[in-house]
Amino acid sequence: MAAGATYTPIASTTIGTAVASYTFSSISGIYTDLVLITYGKSTTADNGYALRFNGTGGSGSNTNYSTTYLYGDGSTAASVRISNSWNISMARIDNTMFATGVTHIMNYSNSTTYKTVLTRGGAGSILVANVGLYRSTSAITQIQIEPQAGGNFDVGSTFALYGIAAA
């Protein structure tokens, strides 16, 4: 992230009826990085956010993504590595409470490098930290968020996208 950077609101939404996914589209390439703030709840238990870019992916249809994540609940901790995936795993969500997450998408508009994604968030006593990679040199112009294990985002889930511009 650039020193002296500022957050510029790009778009935000609050879900009024349960939906299977939410998409930010037509994202301008004028920023250095993007920050996605999530406050969500799933209609199914033991779920997580999944993140896809530019319409790629979908269950089993793309392997341009990888994720490494650490998670813990205060007494146990574990890590998982997924090398070829159809999405980037994000923070955990659940059907009993809203969960928060902050995701940084670095160099999203650069057309010569892969895109790195860092996420932190959790629900209840479970905290998750992820690093993901989108193995494409295409600039990111669309971000799709969906519950990873199916179900829907529940009413009241909120997603906000910010651009970071160099000062």
Residue 1 lies in a domain: no
pLDDT value of residue 141: 97
Residue 21 lies in a domain: yes
Contact between 135 and 65 under an 8 Å Cβ cutoff? The reply is: yes
- Domains contained in the chain, number: 1
Q: Which structural domain range is residue 92 located in?
A: 6-165
- Tell me the average pLDDT across 105-131: 91
Residue 133 lies in a domain: yes
Per-residue buried b or exposed e for 43-60, using 16+ beta carbons within 10 Å of the residue's own CB: beeebbbbbbbbebbeee
Task: Check whether 53 has a pLDDT greater than 60.
Answer: yes
Place of tokens 């574990």: 78
Residue 23 lies in a domain: yes
In terms of pLDDT, which residue wins out, 160 or 64?
160
CATH number at residue 115: 2.60.120
In terms of pLDDT, which residue wins out, 148 or 142?
142
Q: What rounded mean pLDDT belongs to the chain?
A: 88
Task: Tell me which of 31-40, 52-61, 75-84, 110-119 is least confident.
Answer: 52-61
